[in-house]
Structure 1
């Protein structure tokens, strides 16, 4: 079995891209509300890295996005890095076995990631802390997932360009 090599410059560009999106998420996107739903593109970064380049990049970007979530959002400390690490690993492995790095694959995996993330948030934080209604939370999860999938191209296109730029080297 051949060992996969991690491209340091490509990974650094992914991390800078994640920081830029985190800054946008925390400032600009965090204040926008479209019909009561908020745009969250950070999970799409993990999916794009994993599908375009494999499990190693998915794990690195996943841990970074998870740490950014821990820094900026309320929840159980350490849960987000673990969740995104595992998701990056699984999505990267699936990209090697069944899924391609196509946009349709990214939409499907991002939707799955957003739903699972919403359910993890609900059962780990919202239900024990606030006793939130599952129906209301499910409505927010589905609406946020659809909104994220509509704007996934904002993440996918630049990350695909970065991936292709370093694929030739």
Structure 2
């Protein structure tokens, strides 16, 4: 079995995009609200990296995105990097077995990822700490997921261009 080469410049560009999205999300996007929902594009980064390039890139970007979540959001420390690491690996393996690196696959994986992440947040933090209503939280999860799926092209297009550029080498 032949081992794939890991492109450090490609990974650094992905991390730079993740940092840019994180800064935009915590500053500009954080103040915007569309019908009561906030735009969260960080999970789309993990899905795009995993589907376009495989499990190694999915894991690296997953850990990066998880650390950004731990820096900027309330929750259990260490839970986000672990979740995104596992998701990046599984999505990368699925891209090799069944899914293509297409935009539709990325949107579906992002939706699945955000729903699972929202439920994980609810059962690990919101329910025990705040006693939040499941119906209200589910409404926020679904609305936020739909909003992210509408705008995840912002993440997919630059990452696809980077992936294609480094695939030719």
Shorter-chain TM-score: what band? over 0.9
Number of aligned positions between the proteins: 169
Query: Over aligned residues, Cα RMSD in angstroms?
Result: 0.5
State how far apart, in whole Å, the 2-side matches of 1:88 and 1:31 are.
28
Alpha-carbon deviation of 1:3?
1.7
The 1-side partners of 2:54 and 2:5 are apart by: 10
Distance in 2, matches of 1:117 and 1:5, equals 31
- Deviating runs (4+, > 2 A) in structure 1? none
Structure 2-normalised TM-score?
0.99
For residue 26 of structure 1, what is the aligned residue in structure 2? Answer: 26
- Aligned to 2:144, what secondary structure does the other structure show? helix
Residue in structure 1 matched with residue 96 of structure 2 by the alignment: 96
Residue in 2 aligned with 1:126? 126
Structure 1 gaps of 5+ residues are none
Q: For 1:108-146, what per-residue CA distance to the aligned partner results, in whole angstroms no more than 9, with x for missing partners?
A: 000000000000000011001100000000000000000
| Normalised TM-score (structure 1) | 0.99
For 2:63, the equivalent position in structure 1 comes to 63
Quick check: 1:165 aligned with 2:156?
A: no
Deviation of the 1:14 alpha carbon: 0.3
